[in-house]
Structure 1
Amino acid sequence: MTRQLTAALLCASALASPALAQEELAVVGTWSNLPLYQDFETGFWNDEIAGMTGDEFTAQLTSFDQMGIAGADVYRMLGDGVFDVGATVADYTVGDAPELEGLDVPLLAETAEDARRMVDAAKPMVADIMQERFNAQMLGIAPYPPQVVFCKGEISGLADLEGKKVRGSGRMTTKFLEALGAEGINVAFSEVPGALERSVIDCAVTGAGSGYSAGWWEVSDHLMTLPLGGWDPVVIAMNADRWAGLSAEQQEALQSAVSEGLEAPAWEAASGGLENDIACLTGSGECASGEAASMTLVEASDDDTATATEILTSEVLPDWASRAGEDWVARWNDSVGAEMGITVE
């Protein structure tokens, strides 16, 4: 009986070995209260990754705000191996990598299709930045909604931002606002509603859907939809040492799963998403996301668009070029710039 029991245990162990070899990933995602995390990251990492990788991977997911860390710290901690996979808004990390600002230039993309063209053109450059700056392997890039302007108090156009205190969504956006004569104020996303309510700031820039989900419409009343803050792309990356420890088959399976199961659905949802977000924020049209608010919609005039484009090309992009360096600017011109028909001098 002893020999039979031993043989049975060895057999059971052999049968179980594929499961024991399964890789469990510690994953840190984006803001836990926003749609990207709730609708895409949670389902992918918690429910879909095993099936999409042939049971090669499982994941334990949390968000950086649930961990109590700043979004700007995610890639630093990822590079140090504190967790296996991390995702955050690229603009949060430009203090460490100013060249990464080139992933999300304001005003160049008015549609999700244009934004994805920009991102796809930038991917080889972003992959190199993640390796060099953060010891990380890029797995994918997903969008937030276009970054628009929420204001407490009446505005009728871009010129009305002059003299106002405005929270930007990134360094380029803040530079743009300052060129308009506004005062750029650094306020964390989670602190914006309180800052608007107390009049610490007059306006704030974020994604239309993000602002809806976070309740910014409860403390602001005017919405300008000119995409002053770009699309706030989120780079999903893996610690490079952890990546190097995977087999080629595992790398391919994980990369494909992130592309097909997380990145692609987020981009698909972004297409046409702004119309729903505007409906939810203004009450004009059908809101599929919940109760509609009643903000006043402010659409950009031709003069607004011309002014914005002039500031972008004459002040914002040259300022970025001075910080990013000639090599990265040349790569941007040959990729994103060539795709979108603009050159940084």
Structure 2
Amino acid sequence: MKLTKILTILATGACISATPALAEKRVTITNWTSPNHATTRGHAAFAEMTEAEFPDAFDFKLFAGGALLGAKPTLSGLRDGVADMGLLALTYFRAEMPYAQLVADMALLGEDHYAMAGATSEFVMLNCQPCKDEFAKNGMVALSGISTAPYVLLTTKPIVDIKDMQGVKLRTGGSVWDRWATRLGAEPVNVPTSEMYDTMSHGVVTAAVQPIGALKGHSLIEVAKHLTALPLGTYHSGSIFAASPKFWNSLSQEQREQFVKNVPEAVAQTEVFYETDDLDVLKEASELGLQVHEPSPEFLQDLVDFRTADLEAIAQISREERGIEEPEPLIAKYRELIEKWHALVQPLQPIRDNPQPYADLLREEIYTKIDLTTYPN
């Protein structure tokens, strides 16, 4: 089934079903973003690639737009076997997943989303046993990480100076952005991305920390006509390929190998979708009625100062607020991986023109080092 056909079905209905119906394993994928969002298209690409390569192994059914599970119910839905795989944003589960919040705390280090997707995947799958333990405790198996494109401010009114943040009701991804917003006199509002449009259209939220592509991916361009080019990092505390333990444990060794085979390509394609969505919006800015603003030098410097100070405080926050006894080694390892992946992806740019070398990097640096027989143990 062609990807364009899959996306056409997604756009006109709640779910898609790939053939053949007599495949060994029915795989239900849940995604709470819209059918044209980068992650939904990434799921569709994965289903198409895997079904094409192993036509008798898997029968995929993809539910988009929260038709099966919303953002917060996805975790319990995976745990209970309502879905076999889905998109998880882990900052929705602050109490249950303190190590996921440690990852989220370093959001402002996200300058390149290709590097952050690689670094986060390698960290949670190979270098953070407490991460895997808390995933298992809460009912998920991480088969990848994820990273959005770099975040900016999307607003209903122009914001260019620090004073403009006073009283702003800011939809954030939690964690570090909440601390930044509160410091500037704004009010953080934590609602799922699927609810951003409604909350902005009703004035519950007046600004959002999101990638540029969200203006189209979440239809925010209808309610937010201003973009402030602040470098607000990336959202990478999550997984686009979070599997249900029941489903994962039901797979044979061969089925696990077949299922994971195209995950690197699908992650690469998702990250390309994020980038090209941003570029498409910027090309159409005037036609969309979008006004792009540069932050004042003082506003930008204040963000840089906050990022430095907040990074120094992350270990203390992790110990005192989240009960992580020894966060320093994990913080150091994650920062080391971020630097590593920035160096790895830089020679491959522009990745959007040829994502296969990036997918090969993901496979070589992460997936070839995992024993699928015992993973995630």
Q: Considering the TM-score relative to the shorter chain, is it more than 0.5? A: yes
Structure-2 change in CA distance of 1:63 and 1:88 (3 Å): farther
State the AA in 2 paired with 1:98.
P
Distance 2:53 2:147 in 1: 22
1:329 matched to which residue of 2? Answer: 327
Distance 1:100 1:23 in 2: 30
Distance 1:133 1:227 in 2: 34
The structure 1 residue matched to 2:257, chosen from 249, 252, 257, is 252
Residue aligned with 2:181, SS: helix
Q: Which moved more, 1:233-242 or 1:120-129?
A: 120-129
1:123 matched to which residue of 2? Answer: 124
The structure 2 residue matched to 1:133, chosen from 133, 137, 158, is 137
1:143 matched to which residue of 2? Answer: 147
Report the CA distance between 1:34 and its aligned residue.
4.0
| Percent of pairs with identical residues | 20
| 1:107 and 1:309 in contact (8 A); partners too | no
Residue aligned with 2:164, SS: helix
1:306 matched to which residue of 2? Answer: 301
1:88-118 superposed Cα distances (whole Å, 9 cap, x missing partner): 2232333421321233433212222332343
State the AA in 1 paired with 2:42.
F
1:289 matched to which residue of 2? Answer: none
Report the CA distance between 1:31 and its aligned residue.
0.8
1:25-66 superposed Cα distances (whole Å, 9 cap, x missing partner): 122124134422442212432x33222336322211113611
Distance 2:24 2:180 in 1: 48
Report the CA distance between 1:209 and its aligned residue.
0.9
The structure 2 residue matched to 1:239, chosen from 244, 267, 272, is 244
Structure-2 change in CA distance of 1:155 and 1:64 (3 Å): closer
Residue aligned with 1:76, SS: helix
State the AA in 2 paired with 1:311.
F
Residue aligned with 2:41, SS: helix
2:375 matched to which residue of 1? Answer: none
1:295 matched to which residue of 2? Answer: 290
Distance 1:189 1:36 in 2: 13
2:268 matched to which residue of 1? Answer: 264
Distance 1:130 1:256 in 2: 25
Aligned residue runs from structure 1 range 269-288, under 5 A: 269-271=273-275, 274-280=278-284, 282-283=285-286
User: Please, what is the CA RMSD of the aligned residues?
Assistant: 3.0
Give yes or no for the alignment of 1:71 onto 2:66. Answer: no
How many residues in Structure 1 have an aligned counterpart in Structure 2? 312
Structure 2 residue runs of 5 or longer lacking an equivalent are 1-19, 340-377
Distance 2:270 2:154 in 1: 23
| 1:142 and 1:233 in contact (8 A); partners too | yes
| 2:227 and 2:290 in contact (8 A); partners too | yes
Structure-2 change in CA distance of 1:150 and 1:28 (3 Å): same
Distance 1:297 1:39 in 2: 27
1:108-157 superposed Cα distances (whole Å, 9 cap, x missing partner): 12222332343244233386155433232212223333232111222213
| 1:130 and 1:138 in contact (8 A); partners too | no
Structure-2 change in CA distance of 1:302 and 1:123 (3 Å): farther
Report the CA distance between 1:198 and its aligned residue.
3.5
Structure 1 residue runs of 5 or longer lacking an equivalent are 1-17, 284-291
Structure-2 change in CA distance of 1:233 and 1:269 (3 Å): farther
1:215-256 superposed Cα distances (whole Å, 9 cap, x missing partner): 222222321132436235541121223212221121111112
Residue aligned with 1:66, SS: coil
2:172 matched to which residue of 1? Answer: 168
Report the CA distance between 1:276 and its aligned residue.
3.2
TM-score, L = length of structure 2: 0.72
1:338 matched to which residue of 2? Answer: 336
Residue aligned with 2:141, SS: strand
Report the CA distance between 1:309 and its aligned residue.
3.3
| 1:131 and 1:240 in contact (8 A); partners too | no
Structure-2 change in CA distance of 1:295 and 1:128 (3 Å): same
TM-score, L = length of structure 1: 0.78
Residue aligned with 2:288, SS: coil
Distance 1:325 1:143 in 2: 26
Distance 1:226 1:129 in 2: 35
Distance 1:155 1:101 in 2: 28
State the AA in 2 paired with 1:86.
G
1:3 matched to which residue of 2? Answer: none
1:39 matched to which residue of 2? Answer: 41
Structure-2 change in CA distance of 1:98 and 1:30 (3 Å): same
Structure-2 change in CA distance of 1:340 and 1:19 (3 Å): closer
Residue aligned with 2:234, SS: coil
1:184 matched to which residue of 2? Answer: 188
Structure-2 change in CA distance of 1:35 and 1:191 (3 Å): closer
1:13 matched to which residue of 2? Answer: none
